[in-house]
Every structure is written in C-alpha cells, then in structure tokens.
A and B are shown apart, each in its own frame.
Chain A
C-alpha cells in the first residue's frame, strides 16, 4: 500500500465516518463535528489527487478480479485512479472541503430541523461523488452514480414539508433516473462490444467496435451525462432543484455534482471511445452554444437569486461543452495540440466553475438566510450588514463574468484562443462554426457580466429594499471562512493559472495524445502556430501586468496632480426629504432593456395594473401602477409537457390491456405461445 492509496482510503473512510456521525443521534456538537470531519476528509482527498496528478500513482496489478483479496484493497473494489479521475477528484474535493466547512455555520444559523441528516447526507454525497471519480469499472461507477443521485434527491427534499420542494425533487429524480437509463445503455453497449467492464479493458477493445455501436454509445452517454450536467435541452430539473434545496446543498450540486456529468462525457467520448467522427464534435458544440446563450438569457430574466445562479450553471456548462466540443473537433481533424488547448480550457473552466459557483451560492445563501426571501427586489444594501459575504460574492461575480484577475477570465481566454487558432485547421466548416461560436461565447460573457451587475448591485448595494433586508444580521464566521477559501482559489488560479494547467497536464496528455509537457501553459501556448507567425503570449499574466501598470499609473497621476480643494455640499434631492429605496433601480427595471431587445426570444407575458391607491404620508398624488413580466422557457411548454403527457397517454393505453380479467391474461399467454410456435416454424423450420 503506497501513500496515495492510503490517503484515498483515509479520505473515503473519513467521509463515511462523518456521515455516520451526522446520522447518529443528533446534537449541535455532533453536527458541527460531522461537517468538520467531512471537510477534513475532503481536503485529504484533494491532497491525494494533487499527488496523483504530479506523478504518483495507485498500485496497479494486471486486473484485480472482484472478490479476490489482492494486496491492494482498493483494486479489489474496482477502484482505479487515472489522471482524469484524479483531476475531477481534485475539483470535487477542493470545493467539497470549502462547502462542508461553510456548512457548519450555515446549517446552525439557517436550517431549521434535521440538521444531523443534512450533515451526514452531505458528507455521504461527497463520498459518492469521490467514488464516481475513482471508479474503475462499470459496476462501481453505476453504483456510485446512483448513490450520488439518490442522496442528492434526499438533500433536495430536505425541506419536504413544502410542496414546491417535493415537486422539484420529483422532477429531479425522474430526470436523473431516465438519464441513468441512458448511461446504462451506453455502458452495456460498450461492455458487451468489448467483453470487458473495466475502463482499461473497454478502452483497449473500443477500436474494434462497429461505427453504429460507437455512435449509439456516444449518443446515449451524451443524453445521460448531459442531463446530469444540465445541458440544454435536458436542463429542466436544474432551475427547479437548486432553489428548492438548502443553499449549501445547491452549492455542492451546482458547483460540484454537475461537473461529474462532464466527467462521464469525457470518460466515454474521449477516454473510452478515443474520439469519433466530426459530427459528434459539431453536436456537442451546438448543444454547448445553445446552453451557454440560453442559460445566460434566462438568468437575466430571473429575479430569484438562486434560480438566477442555477441558470448560470447551465450557461457555464455550455461554455465547458464548447471547449469539449472544440477538442473533439480538433481531434477528429487530426490536430492533437489544438485539441489539448481546447480541452485545457474546458478542464480549467470546469474547475473554475466549481470554485466560483459555490462561492456565489454560499453568498446567496447568506443573503437569503438573513432576509428570508429569494426575491432580489426585497434585498439590497446588504454590503453594510455582511461585508465579508459581499466581498466573496463580488469575487465570484467577477470570476463568473470572466474578468481579470480572477480565474474565469483565464479559461474563457484559453477557449477564445483555441477557437481563433482553429483557423489553421484548413476545414472550412470548422472555421465557420468556430468563428460563429466565438461570437456566441463573446455574447455570453458580456451578458453574464451584465447579469452579475444586476445580481450583485441589486442584492448588496444601495439601500435595503425591505424591512428584512434592513435588519439582516451578520452571517456566521465559518460561512464567510468557507467563502474566503473559495475566493482565494479564484484569485490564485486567476493570477497564476499555470498551477492549474500543470495539474491538468497529465489528463490532457492522456486524452489527446498531445505531447503536453508539465509546463503546459507555456508548452501548449508557445507550440501554437500563430497567424502572425510568432507564438501566442502568455496572456493572463500580461493582462494582469497591464492592469496593475494601469492602476499604478493612475495612482501616480492622481498623486502628482494637486487635487483641487473639494467643497462638499448636500446633493439637490429634487425637493424630497431623503432618497428612499423606492427610487432605486429595480432588478426588473435593470433587466428590461435586454428583455425588450430580445422580445422574440423571451416572448414575455407583461402586465401593467393599477394598484389600489395608497395615500402617501406626504399627501399628494396616489396613483400607482405595477408592472410585472413573466418569462417562462418555451421548451418547458412543448418539450417537457409533451414528454409528460405522452408518457401518461402511453400508460393509459397500456393499462387498457390490464383488464383485470384472468381470461384475458391467460389469452395473452395463449396467443403469445401460438405466435412463438409459428415463429419457431417460420424461422428455424429447417427439418426434413
């Protein structure tokens, strides 16, 4: 047993111990201890993943047959940690540790009952996710995958007294179940085609599969894993489940769990099948583009803080899929170096999103917990009540808007680079689609920034918009602490992305076959042929330097210029006593220009109505109007309702066979028997 194996065992056992601690007869101290042990286990797993990524490895025997007691207990379980596994284990565990730590305070302050269940469930959820990462066989993977789904379902319906929670949970469960069915189909095709159920065996035999089987396995995996990831059009559960769950659970699900859908897709499409024809890539690119743009558009129209964040998860999954699709495209065009660049962008954005999305969710959790509402229009001014949380949310908002010096900028920058570099591939179709998608990506980033101006500004700035917001308390220290860890990661990976790229080097090498050195950022970027002949600069550092230089210059100029004497006077307030919160920009008002511009996309239902007159304290005009916009996704109307009513109709039709008459059932058997006899005679009747 070597060090990585020992650490992995310790982490998994620690997570399970945390779960038991939480489930055991609860007390405040036990809940706290459960979260802390879980966070610790998660941190150990993160360290272990780093060790594996920089070159250490679990012991490998030829093939540990299940049931045999091999020298390595993990191998006997079917656990296998290749670089791709390790990278996702790292993603899962860093965020997992921070979220579990933040949950200590969050749960104590904002969760009413069943805290022990929540604590144990979240640790167990983490263990299941870690197992999904390191599963080396189809069986262990599926067991861990289903465990993950079921545990997260119970976490979503934690607040099961409320009807919306139960409905959201049911939708999530049904969609996840269908998704697992698709994944099962994919794995069964792969396993029966290659005669092996371990990743290594399948990968070795996948070359011999017929194109039809490969296509079917890929499509089934895309549907199954895409549903978990929240890819349009399979994202329907996401904006429902995230607001329903306790916010720390949302952070874990939206930040971490949906990444495992991408993990599965990478595993099947690139690792097991080793890439495919270019139409796979175009399909992924198209779905990624639609997810990115659709996610951000509906986020803008959303004024429920948690639903807004959920739609942004759809958007970011779309961005990551754009990277994955570009990598697949480059690979099918026979350019592993460009594929490595695009995949580096995808992997990096995966990690980045796993860092800033929980950060945002935890911030939203504090805001929602303190004000008691998810409606942004009733928040405001929270920056004075919770400066730490506001700072953390601000960092997250900067990162998700892809602004330097935070990490979101780096990955989207890399993605742009790979798209533009695609002009050297020589395939006209690839060049046209990549340039179009670069436009989509640019629009998405811009709209995301627009949306987070709203999310941060309306929630944290200006004056409180409601009594509850004015009386908001200070969130617990551990919550702010957990956010601090995530924010620090966002900053460090934004300033020194080379750290993350180094860690991603081994998975990149393994998935694309490109000779990616350990200094991958330098290696990949300087290896790129640039249209202008030179090599692409290591852009983020330069941008950061430029920014810092600009700030320095501005500061010096300001110092040098003697500031004129400032004469302070009260602002003219239009004759009113003091500005009130009703004079502030509302979220709806802020979003309206975009809604107006994209009327044909949104198809909003608008309503302006007269509000019963209230006599203001100052006497005067009392006519008031209220303007409301309701925007629903069209896809919900036709696709989801269609599937649901189709299923119901089908069950009705089938239930007609269930007449309840014993003779009818016997008759079915009789007719089937006769039919089979005829079939035998018709097909196999090669007798005398």
Chain B
C-alpha cells in the first residue's frame, strides 16, 4: 500500500491535468479564470505534498507563494480586467470546443508517449509527474494558439507556467528558490503589463481582439 501522501500527490497532479483539459472546454471567460485558480491551488497542493514527502522545506514557501500569486492575485486581476474593461464574456476560438477537447487528449497521449520512456529520470520517485507536466504545458500552449482574445491568451500562458512549475517540482523538487521567486515576480509583471496593454488596446481600438493586430501586416 502506497503511503497516503503519495496517493494524495497523484490525485493532486491528476487535478492539475484535468483542470488543464477542462479549461479547453469553457466558453465563458470567468469560468476559465476560475478553472485556472483551481489548477493553481492543485499545483500548490502538489508542491506542499512533495515538500512533506521528500523533506524539501523550500517547497512549503513556494506552495505559499503559489497560493498568494496564482490562486489569489492573478485570477483577481484577470476578473477585474474583464469587469472593468467590459470584455465580452464569451471565449472566441479558432477551434470548436469538441475539436479542442480531442486535441487536448491527443496532446496528453503525445506527452505520455514521448516523455514516458526517458530513462535517466526513472530513478526520481516523483518522475511520474513529468508526462503530466508536459501535457499541461502543451495544453496551455494550445490554449494560447487557438483562442482569439488577448486575455484568454494570458490564461493560456499562465497554464503553461503551471505546467513548467509542476515539471520543476517533479524533477528537482523545485527549480531552486531564487528561480521560482523570479518566475513568480515575472508572472506578476506579465499580468500587469497585460493589464496595461489591454487597457490601451481597449482605448485605441475599442476591442481587445488580438486578431486585429493583422492590420499591422506589411
């Protein structure tokens, strides 16, 4: 019987994966942001469990940071953007929901197929997280590519970041405190820049559709 924390770890990782996939299904932006918040919480939980199981006290700090930034601050910021700027609530996408769901599954299969057999990592106990992390990164990337609006693209980027974070935990028990802090700070700055950028777009063009950047084509 595997120890309880390890089972919990698997469940938390599964939640991260499922939320990533679910985020492909949402049509409403608020729901997308909520899903992201849940995913971040699951990532934080994973970090905490790894910290407990493998005696890596740094990770407690990171888990706390994740909660503060990724669960509370960023989703709040995004909701505010939606509310203040009056972004239309619907997610505008290139691929339909059904296609997105299938592609998400394909990406999961791909990452298991590709990352599964990478031998050098087999000794690390938490290496089982790696295919999940890669799948989350790929799904986040797909979100980034397939959604029209700048704000949904920001969410895609954040999902990708969660995947990278998860991979870091899986392989090295955290990328190192300093790197993680830097990443978190980066994310915040990104969110703020995105906020300002969206504001400017709204003021200048009266919409926040990244598709409209085509007008710049030479």
Which positions in A face B, CB cutoff 8 Å? 658-663, 666-667, 669-670, 673-674, 677-678, 680-681, 685, 687-688
Least CB distance, A634 to chain B, in whole angstroms: 37
Contact check, A659 vs B214: say whether CB atoms are below 8 A apart. yes
The verdict on B216 contacting chain A, using a C-beta distance below 8 Å, is yes
Q: How far is the CA of A659 from the CA of B210 in the complex (A)?
A: 13
Contact check, B210 vs A660: say whether CB atoms are below 8 A apart. no
Least CB distance, B94 to chain A, in whole angstroms: 7
| Ranked 6 nearest A-B pairs via Cβ | A687-B117, A660-B217, A681-B114, A687-B119, A666-B145, A677-B114
Task: Please indicate the chain B residues that have their CB under 8 angstroms from the CB of A666 in the complex.
Answer: 141, 144-145
Contact check, B141 vs A670: say whether CB atoms are below 8 A apart. yes
The verdict on B110 contacting chain A, using a C-beta distance below 8 Å, is yes
Can you name 19 A-B residue pairings with CB atoms under 8 Å? A660-B213, A660-B216, A660-B217, A662-B210, A662-B213, A663-B94, A663-B210, A666-B145, A670-B141, A670-B142, A670-B145, A673-B141, A674-B110, A677-B110, A677-B111, A678-B114, A687-B117, A688-B117, A688-B122
Q: How far is the CA of A407 from the CA of B35 in the complex (A)?
A: 89
The verdict on B179 contacting chain A, using a C-beta distance below 8 Å, is no
User: Contact partner of A688 among B111, B119, B141, B217, CB < 8 A?
Assistant: B119
Task: Please indicate the chain A residues that have their CB under 8 angstroms from the CB of B216 in the complex.
Answer: 660
The verdict on B218 contacting chain A, using a C-beta distance below 8 Å, is yes
Name the residue on A nearest B217 (C-beta): A660
Name the residue on A nearest B146 (C-beta): A663
Name the residue on A nearest B144 (C-beta): A666
Contact check, B217 vs A659: say whether CB atoms are below 8 A apart. yes
Per-residue CB contact flags for chain B residues 203-218 toward chain A (1 = under 8 Å, else 0) read 0000000110111111
Least CB distance, B75 to chain A, in whole angstroms: 23
Task: Please indicate the chain B residues that have their CB under 8 angstroms from the CB of A680 in the complex.
Answer: 114
The verdict on B52 contacting chain A, using a C-beta distance below 8 Å, is no
Task: Please indicate the chain B residues that have their CB under 8 angstroms from the CB of A659 in the complex.
Answer: 214, 217
Further contacts, 11 of them, CB under 8 A, given A660-B218, A670-B141: A660-B215, A660-B216, A661-B217, A662-B213, A663-B148, A666-B144, A667-B145, A669-B141, A673-B138, A673-B141, A687-B118
The verdict on B197 contacting chain A, using a C-beta distance below 8 Å, is no
Contact check, A663 vs B211: say whether CB atoms are below 8 A apart. yes
User: Contact partner of B113 among A663, A667, A681, CB < 8 A?
Assistant: A681
User: Contact partner of B213 among A661, A673, A678, A681, CB < 8 A?
Assistant: A661
Which DSSP category, helix, strand, loop or mixed, fits chain B's interface?
Answer: helix
Q: How far is the CA of A362 from the CA of B104 in the complex (A)?
A: 75
Least CB distance, A285 to chain B, in whole angstroms: 48
Contact flag A660-B214 (CB < 8 Å), given A677-B110, A687-B118, A687-B119: yes
Least CB distance, B131 to chain A, in whole angstroms: 12
Q: How far is the CA of A680 from the CA of B115 in the complex (A)?
A: 10
Task: Please indicate the chain A residues that have their CB under 8 angstroms from the CB of B148 in the complex.
Answer: 663
Chain B residues touching A, range: 20 to 34
Per-residue CB contact flags for chain B residues 55-96 toward chain A (1 = under 8 Å, else 0) read 000000000000000000000000000000000000000100
Name the residue on A nearest B147 (C-beta): A663
Name the residue on A nearest B150 (C-beta): A662
Max chain B C-beta neighbours (<10 A), residue from A659, A661, A673, A680: A661
Task: Please indicate the chain B residues that have their CB under 8 angstroms from the CB of A677 in the complex.
Answer: 110-111, 114
Task: Please indicate the chain B residues that have their CB under 8 angstroms from the CB of A673 in the complex.
Answer: 138, 141
The B121-171 residues at the A interface (CB cut-off 8 A) are 122, 138, 141-142, 144-146, 148
Least CB distance, A261 to chain B, in whole angstroms: 38
Task: Please indicate the chain A residues that have their CB under 8 angstroms from the CB of B116 in the complex.
Answer: 687
Least CB distance, A151 to chain B, in whole angstroms: 33
Q: How far is the CA of A662 from the CA of B150 in the complex (A)?
A: 10
Contact check, B117 vs A661: say whether CB atoms are below 8 A apart. no
Q: How far is the CA of A670 from the CA of B113 in the complex (A)?
A: 18
Task: Please indicate the chain A residues that have their CB under 8 angstroms from the CB of B217 in the complex.
Answer: 658-661
Task: Please indicate the chain A residues that have their CB under 8 angstroms from the CB of B118 in the complex.
Answer: 687
Least CB distance, A679 to chain B, in whole angstroms: 10
Task: Please indicate the chain A residues that have their CB under 8 angstroms from the CB of B94 in the complex.
Answer: 663
Q: How far is the CA of A111 from the CA of B113 in the complex (A)?
A: 73
Q: How far is the CA of A669 from the CA of B216 in the complex (A)?
A: 20
Contact check, A661 vs B141: say whether CB atoms are below 8 A apart. no
Q: How far is the CA of A12 from the CA of B148 in the complex (A)?
A: 62
Task: Please indicate the chain A residues that have their CB under 8 angstroms from the CB of B144 in the complex.
Answer: 666, 670
Task: Please indicate the chain A residues that have their CB under 8 angstroms from the CB of B213 in the complex.
Answer: 660-662
Task: Please indicate the chain A residues that have their CB under 8 angstroms from the CB of B214 in the complex.
Answer: 659-661
Least CB distance, B103 to chain A, in whole angstroms: 10
Task: Please indicate the chain A residues that have their CB under 8 angstroms from the CB of B210 in the complex.
Answer: 662-663
The B163-218 residues at the A interface (CB cut-off 8 A) are 210-211, 213-218
Q: How far is the CA of A674 from the CA of B110 in the complex (A)?
A: 9
Name the residue on B nearest A666 (C-beta): B145
Least CB distance, B91 to chain A, in whole angstroms: 14
Least CB distance, A670 to chain B, in whole angstroms: 5
Least CB distance, A34 to chain B, in whole angstroms: 44
Max chain B C-beta neighbours (<10 A), residue from A658, A666, A673, A688: A666
Contact check, A685 vs B117: say whether CB atoms are below 8 A apart. yes
User: Contact partner of A661 among B111, B113, B122, B211, CB < 8 A?
Assistant: B211
Task: Please indicate the chain A residues that have their CB under 8 angstroms from the CB of B114 in the complex.
Answer: 677-678, 680-681
Task: Please indicate the chain A residues that have their CB under 8 angstroms from the CB of B111 in the complex.
Answer: 677
Q: How far is the CA of A236 from the CA of B145 in the complex (A)?
A: 47
Contact flag A663-B145 (CB < 8 Å), given A678-B114, A681-B114, A687-B119: yes
